[in-house]
Structure formats: C-alpha cells, structure tokens
Structure 1
C-alpha cells in the first residue's frame, strides 16, 4: 500500500496492484484490495422523479403545480420523470440524450 502526502496533514493512500509475469508478452494484474467510498442505488418502483428527486404527488420544482397537474413522462425504458425535468435533461445533452437512470438512449414512450 502506498501513502504520500497531498498537503499538510492530508495523506493519499492507495493499494497498488501486483503484477505477475505469465508469458513473455502478457502481464496480468490482480487487485490487492478495493474500498468502496460510496454506494448509490435506486428503487425502480420509487415514486419520486429521478432528476429532481421530488415526489410525483408533490409540487414540481419548475411549474410549482401540485402533483396531478404536472404531467409525468415515461421513457421507453419505463422510467418516469416530471415533464419539465426530463425536457430540461434532454435539451441539456450535447449529443444523443440518454435516460438519466439507466443511460439507454432516451425515447418518449408512446
């Protein structure tokens, strides 16, 4: 494990991979250790917008209309978002828009 100072009192620690020579032209790498620093999961049945994280039955952060007055939009991947949230998301993408949840190419569900 390697440790090096980044600045006064702050150190960066990492586990370095080990290398084993198996053949003359092949090098295989094995991981010594791995430490997750964060974990994020999403319940597909959740009743909140995946972009603004507001409940669908609450107020949309853009139009301020209560639940049923702000339309929900589903993608072909079956993820649902507030209309205003997904339109902003799609328009902010520089290339082909992708679903913010599953990263599939975004298409509005017919």
Structure 2
C-alpha cells in the first residue's frame, strides 16, 4: 500500500523554563501568557529570574523596580534583587 501525504499541519507548544513558579509574582499571570504591558507572548515578553530563584515577566519587574517602595528588593522575599547568572 502506498500513501501520499497531500497536506501536513504542524502544531507546536512552548513553555518558559522557570524554577518552580508557574505565575509571575507581580501580575499573577502565567508565564506563557503575557504581562499586562504586552500584546503577544514570547521573546517580546521574556522572563527574568532573580538570584533568589523568583521569576517574573521582565516588564513587570522593570515597572516594580521603578517604584519608590521597591527599594531594589524582590517583591516576593524582599532580598536585594539581582539576576541569576
């Protein structure tokens, strides 16, 4: 028996690799979704992982660090925020 493929539709899924978190600690949206600032998920709305292992949408964290009350601290554990290397 011979089979001819006339059409093929590929489907793919992706997921950010975050430590143990599934939600942004600031906006509480899933990482596969977008932050409130972005329209589309993906590379335009990347994750930022702190040295404390907490994960956030990059735009959420930048907005958080811009506020006076943040004092440069992680919003989850209140340790000084720096990115993981």
TM-score normalized by the length of structure 1: 0.54
The structure-2 alpha-carbon separation of the partners of 1:64 and 1:95, relative to structure 1 and needing over 3 Å to count, comes to closer
**Number of matched pairs:** 66
- Following TM superposition, the consecutive aligned residue runs of length 4 or more in structure 1 with deviations greater than 4 angstroms are none
More strand as a share of residues: 1
Root mean square deviation, CA, Å: 1.8
What is the Cα deviation at residue 102 of structure 1?
0.6
**RCO comparison, higher one (Cα < 8 Å, 6+):** 2
Q: Is the 8 A contact 2:37 2:59 kept in 1?
A: yes
Structure 1's unaligned 5+ residue stretches are 1-43
User: So what's the TM-score if we normalise by structure 2?
Assistant: 0.68
Select 1:100's aligned residue among 75, 79, 82. 75
8 Å CA contact 2:54, 2:76 repeated in 1: yes
Question: Cα distance 1:90–1:79, how it changes in 2: closer, same or farther (>3 A)?
Answer: same
Name the CA distance, whole Å, in 1 between partners of 2:69 and 2:21. 28
